[in-house]
Amino acid sequence: MTDRLLINDVTSPPSHTLPEALIRKVTWIGITVNLALAIFKLAAGIYGDSQAVIADGIEALLDVFTVILVYAGSRFWTRPPDETHPFGHGRMETLVAVFIGVSLVGAAVGIGWESMATLHEQHATPPGWIAAAAALASVIGKEILYRWTLGVGRRIKSVAVIATAWHYRSDAFSSLPVVIAVTGAILLPSWTFLDHLGAVVVSMFILHAAFKITWPSLKQLIDVGAPAELRRRIRDIAGASRGVRQVHDIRTRYIGTSIQADLHLIVDGNLTVREGHDIAREVEARLIHEIEEVVDVVVHVEPPEEALPEENPQ
């Protein structure tokens, strides 16, 4: 007997019940701050003759694109389950995170290539102080934006919002060497190559952020299972439930930021169908209630002769 608890019967993932007004707030604050910083850095980089600050400004423009993408995607992944998507639309969120990561890789390669190609070139004049000031303003503004966005992302358990936050943090860190490089090039006019080197460092930070965003999301798209610790919790909770003799064949996969699980229970073979059904429902309810990430459970009930040797959950 297989008993299935549909996602419609339980509380949906936090990101699915998020008020759209909150996502809109995250979006427009992010757009406003990033656009202002991007314009300031691009203008300061051009006026102050700093390739590193121009690269930093381009990265800020990418942030504007990222935030818009998250907002557009959220209109899909926050939709409730329907007939054609019974598990919800959470995979759209994962796709958005992957797209953000891939776009960052492209930006990192472009900036890095241009910076390396011009590394040997000397500036006619050293960068201006306005370029250093713009980079410093970016460090402060992006760090504030990172902390706030990360808090929202963790609260609503949104990988795309969290990815956006880490993008901001990478920007703050990448602007630090820009400040150092531009200041060094100003104080030591013969070392103007430091400005180009700063742009190379920016590209490396962008590439690192892209990997942190893309790799976990790609694993979710190929149905990677939940961590071993969470699978053990599923086994322990199910095994401690009334009427359950053994738990085996635990399987998990991600649906957006949430987890769908299925497992087999060994129960008394003399139980009625109704009694076996009640045990399955109780296990499902406990797993969904006690493990926040789990939102959908499928239980297969078996008699003792189907029991297997104890094994670690898969």
Domain containing residue 42: CATH number: 1.20.1510.10
The whole-angstrom separation of Cα 177 and Cα 202 is 8
Q: Is 82 domain-assigned?
A: yes
Q: How confident is the model at residue 13 (pLDDT cuts 50, 70, 90)?
A: very low
Last residue of a domain, one of 221, 250, 272: 221
Q: In this model, does residue 200 exceed pLDDT 50?
A: yes
Q: Check residue 181 and give its pLDDT.
A: 74
Same domain, 134 and 61: yes
Asked if 163 contacts 77 with a C-beta cutoff of 8 angstroms, the reply is no
CATH at 272: 3.30.70.1350
Q: Mean pLDDT of all residues in the chain?
A: 76
Same domain, 211 and 231: no
Q: Check residue 190 and give its pLDDT.
A: 67
Same domain, 203 and 268: no
Q: Which domain holds residue 243?
A: 225-306
Asked if 255 contacts 91 with a C-beta cutoff of 8 angstroms, the reply is yes
Last residue of a domain, one of 162, 188, 221: 221
The whole-angstrom separation of Cα 171 and Cα 110 is 16
Same domain, 276 and 291: yes
Question: Quick one: which of 256, 251, 165 has its CA closest to 217?
Answer: 256
Q: Check residue 265 and give its pLDDT.
A: 92
Q: Is 313 domain-assigned?
A: no
Q: Is 210 domain-assigned?
A: yes
Asked if 211 contacts 163 with a C-beta cutoff of 8 angstroms, the reply is no
Q: Structure tokens of 169?
A: 């943090």
Sheet of 246-255, strand order: 2-5, 294-302, 258-266, 246-255
Q: In this model, does residue 4 exceed pLDDT 70?
A: no
Three-state SS string across 19-43, please? CHHHHHHHHHHHHHHHHHHHHHHHH
Same domain, 179 and 47: yes
Question: Quick one: which of 209, 259, 218 has its CA closest to 95?
Answer: 218
Quick: pLDDT tens for 161-193.
777 787 777 777 777 777 777 787 777 766 666
Number of structural domains (the chain) is 2
Q: Is 258 domain-assigned?
A: yes
Q: Is 23 domain-assigned?
A: yes
Asked if 234 contacts 287 with a C-beta cutoff of 8 angstroms, the reply is yes
Q: Is 3 domain-assigned?
A: no
The whole-angstrom separation of Cα 66 and Cα 49 is 27
Question: Quick one: which of 239, 249, 220 has its CA closest to 286?
Answer: 239
| Angle (deg, nearest 10), helices 159-187 and 193-221 | 170
Same domain, 199 and 270: no
Same domain, 217 and 229: no
Tell me what percent of the residues of the chain surpass a pLDDT of 90. 5
In 3-state terms the chain splits into helix, strand, coil percentages (rounded to 5) of 65, 10, 25
Quick: pLDDT tens for 16-46.
444 466 767 777 888 888 888 888 888 888 8
Q: Is 2 domain-assigned?
A: no
Same domain, 290 and 192: no
Quick: pLDDT tens for 59-102.
778 778 777 777 777 777 767 777 777 666 677 777 888 887 88
Same domain, 75 and 217: yes
HSE at residue 97, side-chain half, CA atoms within 13 A, is 29
Same domain, 230 and 215: no
Last residue of a domain, one of 192, 221, 250: 221
Quick: pLDDT tens for 113-127.
766 765 565 555 667
Same domain, 146 and 213: yes
Same domain, 262 and 159: no
What is the pLDDT averaged over residues 216-230? 80
Q: Is the pTM of this model over 0.85?
A: no
Q: Is 130 domain-assigned?
A: yes
The whole-angstrom separation of Cα 53 and Cα 115 is 12
Q: Check residue 28 and give its pLDDT.
A: 83
Q: In this model, does residue 132 exceed pLDDT 60?
A: yes
Q: Structure tokens of 39?
A: 């314009």
